[in-house]
Amino acid sequence: MHDDLLYDDRVTLWGLFFEVYEGIQRRLERELRAEVDLPGGWLEVLLRIGRTPGQTVPMTQLAEMVLFSSGGVSKLADRMERAGLIHREPSPTDRRSLLATLTPAGREILDRALAVHVLGIQRHVVDHLDAAQRQQLETILRTLRAGLNSPSVDP
Protein backbone atom coordinates (compact mmCIF):
# COMPACT_ATOMS: atom_id res chain seq x y z
CA MET A 1 0.00 0.00 0.00
CA HIS A 2 1.20 3.50 -0.78
CA ASP A 3 1.17 5.26 2.59
CA ASP A 4 1.95 8.55 0.89
CA LEU A 5 -1.40 8.31 -0.95
CA LEU A 6 -3.27 6.75 1.95
CA TYR A 7 -2.62 9.87 4.04
CA ASP A 8 -2.65 12.36 1.17
CA ASP A 9 -4.32 15.66 2.13
CA ARG A 10 -6.47 15.47 -1.02
CA VAL A 11 -7.94 12.14 0.11
CA THR A 12 -8.63 13.63 3.55
CA LEU A 13 -10.28 16.71 2.01
CA TRP A 14 -12.51 14.59 -0.21
CA GLY A 15 -13.41 12.31 2.69
CA LEU A 16 -14.40 15.26 4.87
CA PHE A 17 -16.49 16.78 2.06
CA PHE A 18 -18.27 13.49 1.40
CA GLU A 19 -18.80 12.71 5.11
CA VAL A 20 -20.34 16.13 5.76
CA TYR A 21 -22.52 16.03 2.63
CA GLU A 22 -23.81 12.53 3.35
CA GLY A 23 -24.43 13.27 7.03
CA ILE A 24 -26.39 16.43 6.32
CA GLN A 25 -28.28 14.83 3.42
CA ARG A 26 -29.36 11.87 5.57
CA ARG A 27 -30.64 14.21 8.28
CA LEU A 28 -32.51 16.42 5.79
CA GLU A 29 -34.13 13.43 4.08
CA ARG A 30 -35.11 11.89 7.43
CA GLU A 31 -36.76 15.19 8.45
CA LEU A 32 -38.65 15.44 5.14
CA ARG A 33 -39.88 11.88 5.41
CA ALA A 34 -40.98 12.34 9.03
CA GLU A 35 -42.68 15.72 8.67
CA VAL A 36 -43.95 15.74 5.07
CA ASP A 37 -43.79 12.04 4.12
CA LEU A 38 -41.65 12.91 1.10
CA PRO A 39 -39.33 10.14 -0.11
CA GLY A 40 -35.64 10.84 -0.75
CA GLY A 41 -34.89 12.57 -4.03
CA TRP A 42 -38.43 13.85 -4.56
CA LEU A 43 -37.75 17.32 -3.16
CA GLU A 44 -34.90 17.82 -5.61
CA VAL A 45 -37.20 17.07 -8.56
CA LEU A 46 -40.00 19.30 -7.24
CA LEU A 47 -37.53 22.09 -6.49
CA ARG A 48 -35.88 21.95 -9.92
CA ILE A 49 -39.23 22.07 -11.69
CA GLY A 50 -40.55 24.76 -9.33
CA ARG A 51 -37.53 27.02 -9.85
CA THR A 52 -37.74 26.81 -13.64
CA PRO A 53 -39.66 29.59 -15.42
CA GLY A 54 -43.16 28.33 -16.16
CA GLN A 55 -42.54 25.42 -13.78
CA THR A 56 -42.13 23.13 -16.80
CA VAL A 57 -38.93 21.23 -17.65
CA PRO A 58 -38.08 18.81 -20.46
CA MET A 59 -37.42 15.38 -18.95
CA THR A 60 -33.93 15.19 -20.48
CA GLN A 61 -33.02 18.52 -18.90
CA LEU A 62 -34.52 17.41 -15.58
CA ALA A 63 -32.33 14.28 -15.63
CA GLU A 64 -29.25 16.50 -16.04
CA MET A 65 -30.41 18.88 -13.30
CA VAL A 66 -30.84 16.13 -10.72
CA LEU A 67 -27.85 14.08 -11.87
CA PHE A 68 -29.84 10.92 -12.56
CA SER A 69 -29.75 8.82 -15.68
CA SER A 70 -32.68 9.48 -17.97
CA GLY A 71 -34.02 6.02 -17.06
CA GLY A 72 -33.64 6.74 -13.33
CA VAL A 73 -35.44 10.06 -13.53
CA SER A 74 -38.17 8.48 -15.68
CA LYS A 75 -38.87 5.86 -13.00
CA LEU A 76 -38.88 8.52 -10.31
CA ALA A 77 -41.17 10.70 -12.43
CA ASP A 78 -43.52 7.71 -12.89
CA ARG A 79 -43.87 7.42 -9.10
CA MET A 80 -44.26 11.18 -8.65
CA GLU A 81 -46.89 11.34 -11.39
CA ARG A 82 -48.83 8.45 -9.79
CA ALA A 83 -48.67 10.44 -6.52
CA GLY A 84 -50.21 13.42 -8.34
CA LEU A 85 -47.22 15.75 -7.80
CA ILE A 86 -46.13 16.20 -11.41
CA HIS A 87 -47.70 15.85 -14.83
CA ARG A 88 -45.87 14.86 -18.00
CA GLU A 89 -47.03 15.70 -21.49
CA PRO A 90 -45.49 15.83 -24.95
CA SER A 91 -43.73 19.05 -25.85
CA PRO A 92 -45.76 21.15 -28.27
CA THR A 93 -42.57 21.88 -30.25
CA ASP A 94 -41.02 18.38 -30.15
CA ARG A 95 -43.39 15.43 -29.80
CA ARG A 96 -40.44 13.15 -28.95
CA SER A 97 -39.78 15.16 -25.80
CA LEU A 98 -41.81 15.03 -22.60
CA LEU A 99 -42.28 18.07 -20.35
CA ALA A 100 -42.64 17.70 -16.58
CA THR A 101 -44.85 20.24 -14.81
CA LEU A 102 -45.80 20.67 -11.17
CA THR A 103 -49.43 19.96 -10.36
CA PRO A 104 -51.27 22.04 -7.74
CA ALA A 105 -50.66 19.17 -5.28
CA GLY A 106 -46.97 19.22 -6.25
CA ARG A 107 -46.75 22.97 -5.56
CA GLU A 108 -48.47 22.47 -2.20
CA ILE A 109 -46.13 19.65 -1.11
CA LEU A 110 -43.14 21.66 -2.36
CA ASP A 111 -44.19 24.58 -0.14
CA ARG A 112 -44.60 22.29 2.88
CA ALA A 113 -41.32 20.49 2.18
CA LEU A 114 -39.38 23.74 1.73
CA ALA A 115 -40.56 25.00 5.12
CA VAL A 116 -39.06 21.87 6.71
CA HIS A 117 -35.99 21.84 4.43
CA VAL A 118 -35.02 25.47 5.05
CA LEU A 119 -35.18 24.96 8.81
CA GLY A 120 -33.02 21.85 8.42
CA ILE A 121 -30.46 23.73 6.33
CA GLN A 122 -30.41 26.44 8.97
CA ARG A 123 -29.92 23.92 11.77
CA HIS A 124 -27.39 21.62 10.05
CA VAL A 125 -25.38 24.14 8.00
CA VAL A 126 -25.99 27.84 8.54
CA ASP A 127 -25.96 27.78 12.34
CA HIS A 128 -22.42 26.33 12.26
CA LEU A 129 -20.94 29.03 10.05
CA ASP A 130 -20.53 32.76 10.44
CA ALA A 131 -21.40 35.12 7.56
CA ALA A 132 -17.85 35.16 6.17
CA GLN A 133 -17.65 31.35 6.21
CA ARG A 134 -20.99 31.06 4.43
CA GLN A 135 -19.76 33.44 1.73
CA GLN A 136 -16.49 31.50 1.39
CA LEU A 137 -18.36 28.21 1.13
CA GLU A 138 -20.67 29.61 -1.54
CA THR A 139 -17.68 30.93 -3.51
CA ILE A 140 -15.87 27.60 -3.26
CA LEU A 141 -18.93 25.61 -4.32
CA ARG A 142 -19.63 27.92 -7.27
CA THR A 143 -15.97 27.60 -8.34
CA LEU A 144 -16.15 23.80 -8.17
CA ARG A 145 -19.44 23.77 -10.09
CA ALA A 146 -17.94 25.99 -12.78
CA GLY A 147 -15.06 23.52 -13.05
CA LEU A 148 -17.55 20.72 -13.68
CA ASN A 149 -18.99 22.72 -16.57
CA SER A 150 -15.58 23.41 -18.05
CA PRO A 151 -15.07 21.93 -21.55
CA SER A 152 -11.75 20.45 -20.42
CA VAL A 153 -13.50 18.19 -17.88
CA ASP A 154 -14.88 14.84 -19.06
CA PRO A 155 -18.61 14.38 -18.31
Residue 18 within any structural domain of the chain: no
The pLDDT tens digits for 59-81 are 988 988 887 666 788 899 999 99
Report how many domains make up the chain: 1
List C-alpha distances in Å: 82 to 14, 53, 76, 77, 121.
38, 24, 10, 8, 29
- Check residue 60 and give its pLDDT: 87
> Residue 72 maps to which CATH number?
1.10.10.10
Residue 10 within any structural domain of the chain: no
Q: Model pTM?
A: 0.84
The pLDDT tens digits for 91-148 are 898 888 899 999 999 999 999 999 999 999 999 999 999 999 999 999 999 999 899 8
The domain of 70 spans 40-124
The pLDDT tens digits for 15-37 are 999 999 999 999 999 999 999 99
**Which residues lie below 8 Å from residue 86, measured CB to CB, with a gap of 6+?**
45, 46, 49, 77, 80, 100, 101, 102, 103, 106
